[in-house]
Amino acid sequence: MKTAVVVFPGVNCEHDVVHAIEALGGEAELVWHRDTDLAGFDGAILPGGFAHGDALRTGAIARFSPAMKEVARLAATGAPVLGICNGWQVLCESGLIPGAHIANRDLEFICRFVEVEVVDTDSILTRRTEVGQRLRIPLNSYEGNWVDPSGEGRVVARYVDDPNGSQDQAAAVSNAAGNVVGIMPHPERATDELLGSTDGEVLLESFLHSLVPA
């Protein structure tokens, strides 16, 4: 089973994601954002970075890339779709996850390990975790402050502290169905002892175990 890792211009974590997925025994392939066909892929990951230089708003331009129609199609079939950092911002702009992102409360670009606590295991990101499980994962963002006036976003993991002002201290949020999830910290950067933590593995394993043949 194969995961598409969608590359928008300005994205910079795509190779880390492919490396992490492959290290866990999965299969991942880079897909250019202009691609119009994701047939043969069973899930998708939108990696972090600065798609289209964050012009206008984070994720606002990427949302209209041809590949996003295919990502939405995959999401509608129930396939796992994960957005990491900027990828989550793209998913919000696309309407696949409720809410939007604004600048961090203290206008600080946060680049450090944070601790997140799982609060809901019914999602493609958390299904192999336990409620209350704490994970140490690097956060690397300026606009990680999630707001959701609709109250429809389902928080699946929270920051233990409150680094950025995110509503409900949300670090990861799911759609109602649980198959589309955005996370602000980077699980792919916590998949090797050399990186200082392997706590991201269980999240990516959850994603891989959510794949079903298309």
Partner 1 sequence: MKVTVTIDRRPEIADPEGTTVERALHDLGFTETSSVRMDRVIHMDVDGADPDAVRARVEDMCRQLLANPVLEDFAVEVEG
Residues of the shown chain interacting with partner 1 in the complex, contacts defined by CB under 8 A: 56-57, 60-61, 64, 92-93, 98-100, 102-107, 145, 147-150, 165
Which one-letter amino acid corresponds to residue 20? Answer: A
Spot the catalytic one: 85, 101, 201, 205.
85
Residue 85 annotated in active site: yes
61 vs 190, which CB is nearer to partner 1? 61
Q: Provide the minimum distance between the beta carbon of 107 and partner 1 in the complex, in angstroms, as a whole number.
A: 5
Residue 15 annotated in active site: no
Helix (H, G, I), strand (E, B) or coil at 62: helix
Q: Provide the minimum distance between the beta carbon of 117 and partner 1 in the complex, in angstroms, as a whole number.
A: 23
Tokens of 53: 């230089």
30 vs 102, which CB is nearer to partner 1? 102
The strands making up 134-141's β-sheet, listed across from edge to edge, are 27-32, 2-7, 43-46, 81-84, 180-183, 170-174, 154-159, 110-118, 134-141
10 vs 165, which CB is nearer to partner 1? 165
- H helices, E strands: number in the chain: 4, 11
Spot the catalytic one: 93, 186, 201, 205.
186
Residue 13 annotated in active site: no
DSSP per position, 99-162: -EEE--TT---EEEEEEEEE----STTTTTS-TT-EEEEEEEES--EEE-TT---EEEEEESS-
Q: Provide the minimum distance between the beta carbon of 98 and partner 1 in the complex, in angstroms, as a whole number.
A: 8
Q: Provide the minimum distance between the beta carbon of 57 and partner 1 in the complex, in angstroms, as a whole number.
A: 6
| Active-site annotation, residues | 85, 186, 188
